[in-house]
Amino acid sequence: MNHGLPGAYEVIVIGAGVAGVATAYALARSGASVCIIDQAKQPGRGASFANGAQLSYAYADALASPALLTKLPALALGLDPLFRLKLSSDPGLYVWLAEFLRNMTASRFERNTCQVLTLALESSQAMHALLERYPIAFHHAVPGKMHLYYSENDLQKAATTVALKQRHGARQEILTARAAIAIEPALAQVRGLAGVVHSPQDAVGDPRQFCEALLALCGAQFGVVARLDTSVTGMVREADGWRVSTGRGEGFSAQRLVLCAGEGSRILARKLGFDLPIQPVKGYSFTAPPGPEAPHLSLTDTKRKLVFCRLGNQIRVAGLAELGNSFGAVDPARAGLLRDLAREALPGGANYTAIESEWAGLRPMTPDSQPIIHWVDPHLALNTGHGMLGWTLAMGSAARLARAMPALSN
């Protein structure tokens, strides 16, 4: 229940992307009165808007790894067009990079991967439970996913990680190119395919439509109040909670405040006097009609670092990574590179001459690839830093946060 006053709630959630809306749902289901605030006019307009759309529950591999360590010289010199590092005067970037380097050991990679995998499997269960209760529409399907490998050496390295994840509950298997083509005929157009990692229980869904549908459900079923097109201008700690002011001149009070604003969470946290180990990783996507040889399964091309995902009667293609780039607009040259890579990988995968939309977004990344799901104290919580797996991990991280909500002292 709220405080009994207009604009007073038990919880204010800042951020209406997949993490924020899922958090509002989880907290409202627990019985809390919730207000969700976002500066965009519609939910899911940031990193959730047009990302890769894959719910990669079995693919939880941490970004920092021994394999990436060998590529650092090329990255530092700007020689890898797929993964760029943008240096800046922000000292937080260099602190982040130092911690990122520490996580490139084999032991840390295994630890981080297994912990993210556990959360991903929890997220799969939470999504299943949601859709059993409320079958909202967002092009959700479970076609499975394949990671494509082009050398036996890379495939064997992947098999080591697959074995690790199998021991921790993931359902994955290594398939030869012939066996993979039998399941997904569109792979016949792929040149030099050595084999794949097949994750048959991985799903897909449109994250923007999910945010819109779940937020509408939250309002109708649980009375969640959404204040969109509303910027947060102030957060003041009071004796019994928080006072939040907005650019509209409004004021809201709440017992608890939850930061779920993705990359913006770091800015908000600084206003509260502490820093978060988050850096933006910019990614690109485009959406187009299916081509004559469009895949039905989700595909990840490991050589070109891009994904193909069927969403209803569309194909979503996403890729590229730019660490430290906080400029969210689409760079035409980078968007063109993504199109070229996609056409090279799957010539018949999409209608590349009829692209319907292009997008770029900033994904909030931590050095160990583990999101920050934490109650700082009974009145303040964080649910952010999901990186490139935000869509995958949103439901699980929200459920964890709700379960861990501490009691308030009388």
Task: Kindly report the pTM of this predicted structure.
Answer: 0.95
Whats the size of the chain, residue-wise?
410
CB 262 within 8 Å of CB 46: yes
C-alpha to C-alpha distance for 261 and 235, rounded to whole angstroms: 14
- pLDDT attached to residue 1: 33
Is residue 87 scored above 90 in pLDDT?
no
Q: What confidence category does residue 333 fall into, taking pLDDT thresholds of 50, 70 and 90?
A: very high
Q: Is the predicted pLDDT of residue 232 greater than 90, yes or no?
A: yes
Joined together, the tokens standing for residue 29 give 């289901």
Question: Considering only CA atoms, which of 180, 126, 143 is closest in space to residue 311?
Answer: 143
- Say if residue 79's pLDDT is above 90: no
Q: How confident is the model at residue 76 (pLDDT cuts 50, 70, 90)?
A: confident
pLDDT of 58 higher than 90: yes
pLDDT (0 to 100) of residue 410: 59
Nearest by Cα to 388 from 249, 273, 279, 248? 279
Q: Is the pLDDT of residue 40 over 50?
A: yes
Residue 384 confidence (pLDDT) above 60: yes
Q: How far apart are the first and last CA of the chain?
A: 15
Which two tokens mark 127? 């999504």
Average pLDDT value for the chain: 94
Q: Which one has a higher pLDDT value, 408 or 334?
A: 334
Of the listed ranges 24-28, 86-90, 154-158, the least confidently predicted one is 86-90
22: number of Cβ within 10 Å: 32
Task: Write the single-letter amino acid at 34.
Answer: V
Q: Assess whether pLDDT exceeds 60 at residue 6.
A: no
CA quadruple 325, 331, 333, 339: dihedral positive or negative?
Answer: positive
* Structural domain boundaries in the chain: 8-403
Quickly state the pLDDT bin for 4 (edges 50, 70, 90).
very low
Mean pLDDT, range 81-107, rounded to an integer:
92
- pLDDT band of residue 89 (cuts 50, 70, 90) is confident
Which of residues 89 and 41 earns the better pLDDT score?
41
Q: Which fold has domain 8-403?
A: FAD/NAD(P)-binding domain (3.50.50)
Mean of the pLDDT values across residues 400-405?
A: 97
Q: Give the confidence band of 90 by pLDDT, cuts at 50, 70, 90.
A: confident
Residue 223: predicted pLDDT = 97
Which percentage of the chain shows pLDDT scores above 90?
Answer: 89
Q: Which of 80-89, 240-249, 290-299 has the weakest average pLDDT? A: 80-89
pLDDT for 2: 39
Contact between 390 and 56 under an 8 Å Cβ cutoff? The reply is no
**Distance from C-alpha of 113 to C-alpha of 67, rounded to nearest angstrom:** 14
Q: What is the pLDDT of residues 185-213, one digit of tens each?
A: 999 999 999 999 999 999 999 999 999 99
Report the pLDDT value the prediction gives residue 69, as an integer from 0 to 100.
86
Q: What does the buried/exposed string (b/e) look like for 164-203 if buried means 16 or more CB atoms within 10 Å of the residue's CB?
A: bbeeeebebebbebeebbeebebbebbeebebbbbbeebb
pLDDT (tens digit, 9 = 90+) per residue, 347-358?
999 999 999 999
CA distance linking residue 26 with residue 9, whole number of Å: 15
Category of 271 on φ-ψ map: left (φ > 0), alpha (ψ -120 to 50) or beta: alpha
Q: Taking Cα atoms as reference points, which of 73, 138, 89 lies closest to residue 326? A: 89
